[in-house]
A and B are shown apart, each in its own frame.
Chain A
Amino acid sequence: MTPLQAILLLGGALFSLGLYGVLARQNAVLVLMSIELMLNAVNLNLIGFARYGAAGGAVGQIIVVFIITVAAAEAGLFLAILLRLYRSRATVNLDRVDSLRR
C-alpha cells in the first residue's frame, strides 16, 4: 500500500464515520460534529494529493484553507440557527423539527 492510499483509506473511514453520525444522531450539535468529521476527511484527502499527487504543490493546501473558512462560517451560522430553534421550540432534537412534513 502506498502512502497516498493509506491517507485515502483514513479519509474514507473518517468520512464514513461522519456519514453514520449525520444519519443516526438526533441531537443537532452532534450532527454538526459529524459534518465537521466529514469535512476533515475531505481536507485529509486533499492534503494527501497535494503531497503525493503528480500535480501537487500549493493548490491542494489553498483549497483546504477555503474549506476551513467555509466551515468556520457554517459553525457561526449553526449557532445562530440553533439558538433561534431552541427559543421557538425548546428542543434541539432534529426529529421533533418536522413542521414541513405535516
Chain B
Amino acid sequence: MNLGTLVFLALTGVTLAGGIGVVATRNVVYGAFFLLVALVGVAGIFILLLAEFLALVQVLIYGGAVTIVLLFAVMLTQTPEQRRVQDNPQRPLAVVAALVSLFLFSLAALTTPWKVHDDGAGPAVSFQELGIALFRDWGLPFEIASLVLLVALVGAVVIARAREEP
C-alpha cells in the first residue's frame, strides 16, 4: 500500500466523519464545524487528484464564506428549540432512502465498465490551462454565472430588507 492510498484513506475517513457529524449532531453550531471538517477533507482529496485550484476555491468559498453564512444564519435566528435539534418523524424513511441510494451508487460505481484514461490517470491541468479554458471556451457560461451571482445578491438584499411594503 503506497503513500497516496494511505493519504486517500485518511482523507476519506476525515470527510465521512465530518459528514456523519453533520447529520448526527444535536447542536446546529457543531453541525457547522463538522461541515467544515468534511469540506476540508474534500479539499484534501481535490489536492490528491491534482486539482489544486479547486482545492483553494473549496477552502476559500465553502470553508470560508458558506460556513460563515451558515453561522450567521444560526446567530440571527436563535430560538430555544435550536439548542437541541430533533429529527422529524420521517427519520426511518430517511434511513431507508439513504441506504438505498448508497447501495445504488455503490453498485453503479463498481459494476459500470468505466472508460479510464489510457495511462491510468490523465495529465494534471495547470492553473494556466484552466484559466485559458475558462475564459476562452467557457466565456459565455462564465458571464452567466457572474450574472447569477449578481441577481442572487440583489435578490437576497431585497428579500431580507427590514421595511415592509406599504
Contact = CB atoms under 8 A, between A and B. Distances in A.
Contact of A11 (B66, B73, B90, B105): B105
Interface string B24-53: 000010011001001100100110011101
Given A43-B42, A53-B116, A12 B109 contact: yes
Nearest to A12: B105
B85 A80 contact: no
Given A36-B66, A37-B35, A53-B122, A27 B49 contact: no
Interface string A30-66: 1011101100100110011011111111110110111
Contacts of B1: none
B145 A90 contact: no
Nearest to A73: B152
B115 A53 contact: yes
A3 B130 contact: no
A77 B66 contact: no
Interface string B52-63: 011001100110
Interface of A: 1-21, 23-30, 32-34, 36-37, 40, 43-44, 47-48, 50-59, 61-62, 64-66, 68-84, 86, 90-95
